[in-house]
Structure 1
Amino acid sequence: MIDGAPYRVDCHVKVLDDQVVERARRAGLDAIVYAPHFTRLPEIRERAAAYSTDDLLVIPAREVFTGSWRNRKHVLALGLDEPVPDFIPLEAAMAEFDRQDATVLVPHPEFATVSLGEADLRRHADTIDALEIFNPKHFPTHNRRARELAETLSIPPFTSSYAHLSRSVGIAHTAFKTAIESEADLLTTLADGVARRVSYDNGLERWRTTTTELAHLLYENTWEKVDRLFLSGTEPTHPKHIAYDGRFDDVAVY
């Protein structure tokens, strides 16, 4: 970060490798938030640390799949001290985030069947720190609705590439004027509602990203879902996995 320049953060990516780091560098990013699906927090933290450099801070996070496959609602949690599993009710997840004083972001609101709706946002407004108002997977009507929700409910905004593919990294970012040099700095900045600017590419490259990411979403919700549900056994983030030591057995939806 150059003194006086905004600090650019891609607030949600799913992939992390050398290509992602190079893509982020070319896009002028200072940090990315890494939150892969169905991966336990210790592994996320280890991988994030391995790819962090002086030029790019990689911040670990968990996008928790609350509820069942038919009615799942995604919530992005940063600053967790203890792992939180998928497939627990939204209320249970939010209570756990509160207990840990985590920073809570809402990705892609009211998108398909995987998102928090207005009623959820109102119910958990005291826990939520920011709401995504632009997502490359969205069509313009979705992004307008997200912006409307953020303004109506007075929730600070953010954006991300929501990259499931390395080529999508950096297509959107959130720019902060405050200096952010560590994970703790970003958590404080988000939780305190510090002023920020949402920036994104809305040209041809954005629509290429939308097309390829939606195609990947279709894959995720067809063969990959069948594989996870029936072929792969217990997910490492399943609430009844041995790693959670029975703490969430009483609220597991499966």
Structure 2
Amino acid sequence: MTDAEGTRIDLHTKVISDSVIERAKERGLDAIVYAPHFTRLPQIKTAAEQYSDSELLVIPAREVFTGDWKNRRHLLAIGLDDPVADFITFEGAMAEFERQDAAVVIPHPAFMNVSLTHPEIRAHAARLDAVETYCAKLFPYQNRRGQRIAAALDLPGFGSSYAHLPGTVGEAWTRFDREIDSTDALVTALREGAPRQAVHRNGLGHRARRLLEYGHLGYENSWEKIDRLLLSCDEPTHPRNLVYEGRFNDVRVY
């Protein structure tokens, strides 16, 4: 799965399909991290296993929404064994990640109201394993902000497509200097601060994909979706859902 250039991983994608796997392979990736919104961990793991093969490893993960909808803080956890609900407190989520020895990385830092701010990342730097320094969904000035945060706090960086659209997979990735052939191997690399480089494509095609992804934010944050999330406790990752057996009742925000 690796060559002289190390292991190339798109460290955050939201979509999975035959076409996504084909595109990832065409882009020369060795692995992708699959972390769809509002999807239970067992379902993510099943899809990851189904789409993994000898050419491309699909690593299951969860981007957990902490806090309420207006001030949510996204945390990307890799290496979870037990499900974690969305819309719980930051401390509640971190305690659960630490209990499970998961790697915790910060996607799209200081972006709108969906990310940890620079002061928040500084306050919790010792508990975090990496900060995203290149996200294909963001504009250059936004990525430079992430790079400054990582540099100022001496935290490792990473790159990803953050693909919500299939065509964006492989627009950015992280190249590690070691072989990574399992979820555990990626968790170890992240926890140990293994040398890596955030890499991305260039040119008009890349800029077009970035604009398409950015425009997709309008759909993501539509009032219809907000209404579904806040008014229905039957959502798959709502902390009041029976599947969690009340484990997050003391830390849920809704």
For the superposition of Structure 1 and Structure 2, which TM-score range results when normalised by the shorter chain? over 0.9
Q: SS of 1:162's equivalent?
A: coil
Residue 193 of structure 1 aligns with an amino acid whose one-letter code is G
The Cα of 1:223 is off from its aligned counterpart by 4.6
Alignment partner of 1:65 is 2:65: yes
Q: Which residue of 2 aligns with 1:12?
A: 12
Partner in structure 1 of residue 153 of structure 2: 153
- Give the structure 2 partner of residue 32 of structure 1: 32
> 1:171, 1:253 → 2: CA distance?
35
SS across alignment from 2:202: coil
| Contact 2:2-2:30 at 8 Å conserved across structures | no
TM-superposed deviation, 1:202:
3.0
CA shift for structure 1 position 228: 2.1
Runs of 4 or more, structure 1, over 6 Å off, are none
| Deviation by residue 1:185-206 (Cα, 9 ceiling, x = unmatched) | 1111111101011100232122
- Give the unaligned 5+ runs of structure 1: none
| Distance (whole Å) between structure 2 residues aligned to residue 119 and residue 112 of structure 1 | 14
Aligned residue for 1:94? Answer: 94
Structure 2: distance between partners of 1:107 and 1:44? 18
The 1:232/1:239 distance shift into structure 2, 3 A limit, reads closer
Q: Determine the structure 1 residue equivalent to 2:164.
A: 164
Equivalent residues, number: 254
- Work out the CA distance in 1 between the residues paired with 2:165 and 2:6: 25
User: Hey, what does 1:214 align to over in structure 2?
Assistant: 214
Is this contact kept in 1: 2:161–2:171, CA < 8 A? yes
The letter of the residue matching 1:11 is L
SS at match of 1:249: coil
Matching residue's letter, 2:126: D
Asked if structure 1 preserves the Cα contact closer than 8 Å seen for 2:233 and 2:240, the reply is: no
Q: What pairs up with 1:128-139 in 2 under 5 angstroms?
A: 128-139=128-139
SS of corresponding position for 2:25: helix
- 2:253 and 2:16 map into 1 onto residues whose CA distance is 30
Query: Structure 1: how far apart are the matches of 2:132 and 2:53?
Result: 26
Aligned residues: CA RMSD: 1.4
Q: What CA distance in whole angstroms lies between the structure 2 residues aligned with 1:211 and 1:239?
A: 33
- What does 1:1-254 correspond to in 2, within 5 Å? 1-229=1-229, 234-254=234-254
Q: What is the TM-score of this pair, normalised by structure 1?
A: 0.96
Deviation at 1:110, TM superposition (A): 0.4
Report the CA distance shift for 1:2/1:117 in structure 2 as closer, same or farther (over 3 A): closer
TM-aligned CA deviation for residue 128 of structure 1: 0.7
Shift of residue 22 of structure 1? 0.4
Deviations along 1:164-202, one digit per CA (max 9) or x if unpaired, are 000000000100120111111111111110101110023
Deviates more, 1:104-113 or 1:180-189: 180-189
Write the distance in 2 (CA, Å) between the matches of 1:229 and 1:82.
22
Task: Give the letter aligned to residue 73 of structure 1.
Answer: R
- Is contact 2:21–2:56 with CA below 8 Å preserved after alignment? yes
**Cα shift at 1:215:** 1.5
206-215 or 21-30, which deviates more: 206-215
| SS of the residue 1:189 aligns to | helix
- What is the TM-score when the length of structure 2 is the normalising length? 0.96
Aligned equivalents of 1:233, 1:80: Cα separation in 2: 23
Please, which runs of 5 or more residues in structure 2 have no aligned partner?
A: none
Cα distance in 2 between the residues matched to 1:149 and 1:201: 22
The CA deviation string for residues 13-54 of structure 1, in whole angstroms up to 9 with x for no partner, is: 000000100000100000000000000000100010000000
* 1:131-162 deviation line (CA, Å, top 9, x unaligned): 10011221111111100000000110001000
